[in-house]
Structure 1
Amino acid sequence: MKGLTTLMLTLAITGCQARPQQPPTQVVYRFDDHRYLELKGWNCEGELWFTDAQRSIHTQLYFQYYRIFTRQLIHPSERYIAVPSWEVTGFRVSRDYGQTWQVAGFSPGPNELNGMDRAPGEDALSFTVVNDQGFLQTKHSLYTSSKPFEDPRILPGGPGIPFVSEDGANHILEAQYPGEAWGMVYMTKLGLEQNTAQFKTNWQDLPDHVPEVKNYQGWDRMRCDMNAGKAK
């Protein structure tokens, strides 16, 4: 009987030791005192969550495999939130304070002088989101999203936008086929020259430099502890 009791105790202890440990959760970025990003996972890779404590918003951006953006990140914007990943192949963006999320990418076409349609991740220097507009600065180019509104001419029932192509032909950018919504695509001025978005008012008079941000209260980079959750 004593031997049976010892065996049961050993099995119980072994079972406890074999029980999988929950992955750690850590804050990897703070926009301000009430908005932040949390990463849940081992070795700084996993799920990514957004929280706005003032608006009672808690939503998930990435469900697995997210790795933090390691360059400078300045993000005072509140309505429009854009979050890049380590590879900078695109962005998770929200246009409603973080309640819902969509995937934004780079405009097809030659954004880079070598003909690439997107920014090489190793060239990224900084990402700034201010006044509901995103600015990705690379070693060679500035990528921007559009200004945060739609051209009324391509809204439902609008007259469309007349334009003349390089061959002199007359065209209309119809409201039925307006292209990407505001904030959903990033491109350089080179890419804009090859895109009908150039005729929309929200893509005109874009800056040549990242706007200056003053009195920013958030973090200027994402932070992550590779050893979070591991035994010391």
Structure 2
Amino acid sequence: MVLRKSGRIWLLAISLSLSLSLLTGCTGTFSLKKPQKPVQVVYRFDDHRWLELKGFNCQGELWFVDKNRGIRSQIWSQFYRIFTKPYINASERYIAVPGWDMTGAMSVSRDYGQTWQTSRAYGDEDDGSNKPVYNKIKSLTVVNDQGFLLTNQGHIYMSSLPFDDPRLEPGGPGIDYTITFRGREIAHHINAGDPGIGGNSSTWGLNYVDPRILHKLTWQYYTNFQNLPDKVPEVKNYRGWTQMQCDLNAGL
């Protein structure tokens, strides 16, 4: 009995193995391998620079590519979702990459896309918040190495002019200024290398400020936050896309 039972099990195993072999041989579709994550270009700055998204359902890793300079750098390692509002990035040295559900924070590069940092936004919205929520953002424009985040209410969050204040560089004299408090003028001094708000003194392009509140911040004394534009500059001869694009069904 044991031998016959073992024999039947052995024959059944052979039969199942042959069936699977025939199935895979005939159809070529039976596989236990996981599908490869699709890679698609979701934004083009021009003919030699673009953003690649690797992942399903328009979410995943985000990479920047500059074919001419030989740059391929990772911006997001996972969970990136594309920015769905109008977006123009006409600068090469300075790049600001927004994402879905942002509140003024973006991935920013100041060296042609080789390295990336996170920006911050400072403002005074009508709803009492100090940052623009995603559904109130109208567009992002980057031109002349400066970023302009426009809201539906017409507020503009802009980065500084593209240089650091030389007075705050190592060995610099710092900045002297006075404030009036209860009718008295009080002298203040910003030391060279003072970290200030949002990082060290070398922060051009990392902080987006609504000019309506600039008078409340010490940045008003920095040369790169003076003489800021009062509107989003016009972009001419732009060769890139004006909005990110993504195929939700890619790889499925």
Matched ranges for 1:172-183 at <5 A: 172-179=189-196, 180=199, 181-183=203-205
Structure 1 runs of 4+ aligned residues shifted over 2 Å read 1-18
Give the match for residue 224 of structure 1. 246
Structure 2 residue matching 1:17: 3-state secondary structure: coil
Q: Paired residues, what number?
A: 228
Q: Is the CA contact (8 Å cut-off) linking 1:154 and 1:178 kept in structure 2?
A: no
**Aligned residues with identical type, % of pairs:** 51
2:48 corresponds to 1:34 = yes
CA distance 1:219–1:182, change in 2 (3 Å): same
Match of 2:209 in 1: 187
Q: Which runs of 5+ in 2 are unaligned?
A: 1-9
What aligned pairs does 1:137-216 form with structure 2 within 5 A after superposition?
137-140=150-153, 141-167=155-181, 168-179=185-196, 180=199, 181-216=203-238
User: Partners in 1 of 2:213 and 2:91 — Cα distance?
Assistant: 25
Residue number in structure 1 paired with 2:17: 8
Of 162-171 and 192-201, more deviation after overlay is shown by 162-171
Q: State the partner residue of 1:54.
A: 68
Deviation at 1:116, TM superposition (A): 1.4
Tell me the secondary structure at the aligned position of residue 74 of structure 1. Answer: strand
**Structure 1: which amino acid aligns with 2:73?**
T
- Counterpart code for 1:227: N
3-state DSSP of counterpart to 1:192: helix
1:176 CA displacement: 3.0
User: Could you tell me which amino acid in structure 1 is paired with residue 205 of structure 2?
Assistant: G
Residue 87 of structure 1: which of 101, 106, 126 is its match? Answer: 101
**Deviation digits for residues 17-44 of structure 1 (CA, Å, limit 9, x no counterpart):** 2321111110000000000001111100
Offset of 1:222 from its aligned partner? 0.2
Residue 89 of structure 2 corresponds to residue 67 of structure 1? no
Correspondence 1:96-115 to 2 at 5 A = 96-107=111-122, 110-115=123-128
Distance in structure 2 (CA, Å) of the matches to 1:66 and 1:46: 5
Give the aligned residue type for 2:119: A
**Letter paired with 1:172:** H
1:112 is aligned with what amino acid?
E
Letter in 1 for 2:191: E
Preserved CA contact (<8 Å) 1:144 1:188? yes
Which residue number in structure 1 is paired with residue 141 of structure 2?
128
Structure 1 residue 147 displacement after superposition:
0.4
TM-score normalised to structure 2 length: 0.85
Structure 1 or 2, whichever has the larger Rg, is: 2
Residue 51 of structure 1 aligns to a residue whose secondary structure is strand
Q: CA deviation at 1:74?
A: 0.8
1: CA distance between counterparts of 2:67 and 2:206?
25
TM-score relative to the length of structure 1: 0.92
Distance 1:99 1:7, change over 3 A: same
Quickly say closer, same or farther: Cα 1:15–1:224, change in 2 above 3 A: closer
Question: 2 CA distance for matches of 1:37 and 1:197?
Answer: 32
Alpha-carbon RMSD across the aligned residues, in angstroms, is 2.0
Question: Which letter maps to 2:176?
Answer: P
Q: 1:194 to 1:11 in 2, by over 3 A?
A: farther
Aligned to 1:22, the other structure's residue is in SS state: coil
Q: In structure 1, what is the Cα distance between the partners aligned to 2:235 and 2:100?
A: 23
